[in-house]
Chains A and B, each alone.
Chain A
Amino acid sequence: MCQVGEDYAEPASEEPPPRQPGREQKCVKCKEGLPVVVIRAGDAFCRDCFKAFYIHKFRAVLGKNRLIFPGEKVLLAWSGGPSSSSMVWQVLEGLSRESAKRLRFVPGIVCIDEGAACGLSPEARAKALAEMKLILQTVGFPWHVVALEEVFDLPPSVLRCFAQEPVGTEGAYKAAVDSFLQQQHVLGAEGAGDSPSLAQGEEQLSWPCTQDPQNPQSPDRPPTAAQTEALSRLFDSVKTLTAKEELLQALRTHLILHVARTHGYSKVMTGDSCTRLAIKLMTSLALGRGAFLAWDTGFSDERHGDVVVVRPMREHTLKEVAFYNHLFAVPSVFTPALDTKAPEKASIHRLMEAFMLRLQDQFPSTVSTVYRTSEKLVKAPRDGCAAGPPGPRCLLCMCALDIDTAGLCLPSPGCSEEGTGEWVLGFSSPLVPSAPLYLQTVPRLLGLRLPCICPRRSPPPHRPLHPAVLQGWGGCRAAVGGPGPARGAALLSQGGPPSPRHRAAVLRLPCEHEGLALPGPPAALHLGRGPAPQPELLPQGLHRAADPGVPG
Chain B
Amino acid sequence: MAAPLSVEVEFGGGAELLFDGVKKHQVTLPGQEEPWDIRNLLVWIKKNLLKERPELFIQGDSVRPGILVLINDADWELLGELDYQLQDQDSILFISTLHGG
- Residues 1 to 49 of chain B near chain A (Cβ within 8 Å): 12-14, 16-18
- In the complex, whether A138 has a CB less than 8 A from a CB of chain B is no
**What is the bound-complex CA distance between A38 and B71, given in angstroms?**
13
A322: which of B53, B80, B97 is its contact (CB, 8 Å)? Answer: B97
* CB-CB nearest 3 A-B residue pairs: A337-B100, A340-B100, A357-B65
Q: Mark A269-304, 1 if CB is under 8 A from B, else 0.
A: 000000110000000000000000000000000000
Residues of B within 8 A of A (CB): 12-14, 16-18, 53, 55-56, 65-66, 68, 70, 73-75, 77-80, 93, 95, 97-101
A341, B78: Cβ atoms closer than 8 Å:
no
Cβ-defined contact, A358 with B65, below 8 A: yes
CB distance from A319 to the nearest CB of B (A): 6
Instruction: State whether B65 touches A276 (Cβ < 8 A).
Output: no
Give 14 A-B pairs besides A326-B73, A334-B16, A360-B65 with Cβ atoms closer than 8 angstroms: A25-B78, A35-B78, A37-B74, A37-B78, A82-B13, A336-B17, A338-B100, A339-B100, A340-B14, A340-B17, A341-B56, A341-B101, A354-B66, A361-B65
Q: Judging by beta carbons under 8 Å apart, are B77 and A38 in contact?
A: yes
In the bound complex, residues from chain A placing their C-beta under 8 Å from that of B73 are: 36, 326-327
**Is B78 touching A326 in the complex (CB atoms < 8 A)?**
no
Say yes or no: A21 contacts B77, CB within 8 Å: yes
A276 and B98 alpha carbons, distance in the complex (Å): 9
Closest Cβ of chain A to B71, distance in Å, is 10
| A318 interface residue (CB < 8 Å to B) | yes
Question: Which residues from A are CB-within-8-Å of B80?
Answer: 22
Identify A336's interface contact among B18, B78, B95, B101, CB under 8 A: B101
Could you tell me if B75 and A322 are in contact, using CB atoms closer than 8 angstroms?
no
Report B-chain residues with C-beta under 8 Å of the C-beta of A338. 100
Cβ distance B63 to chain A, nearest Cβ, rounded Å: 10
- Kindly provide the distance from the CB of A45 to the nearest chain B CB, expressed in whole angstroms: 9
**CB-based contact B65/A36 at 8 Å:** no
- Chain B residue contacts of A38, Cβ below 8 A: 75, 77-78
- Chain A residues with Cβ below 8 Å from B78 are 21-23, 25, 35-38, 44
Within the complex, which residue of B17, B68, B101 is in contact with A323, where a contact is CB–CB below 8 Å?
A: B68
Q: Of B14, B66, B75, which one neighbours A36 at CB under 8 angstroms?
A: B75
CB distance from B55 to the nearest CB of A (A): 8
Question: Nearest chain B CB to A338's CB is how many angstroms away?
Answer: 7
Beta-carbon contact of B77 and A20 below 8 Å? yes
Is B99 a contact of A334 with CB atoms below 8 Å? Answer: no
Cα A448 to Cα B100 in complex, Å, equals 27
Cβ–Cβ contact A322 & B77, under 8 A: no
A342 CB within 8 Å of chain B: yes
Which residues does chain A contribute within 8 Å of B70, judged by CB atoms? 323, 326
Cα of A343 to Cα of B52 in the assembled complex, Å: 12
CB distance from A283 to the nearest CB of B (A): 11
A315 within 8 A of B: no
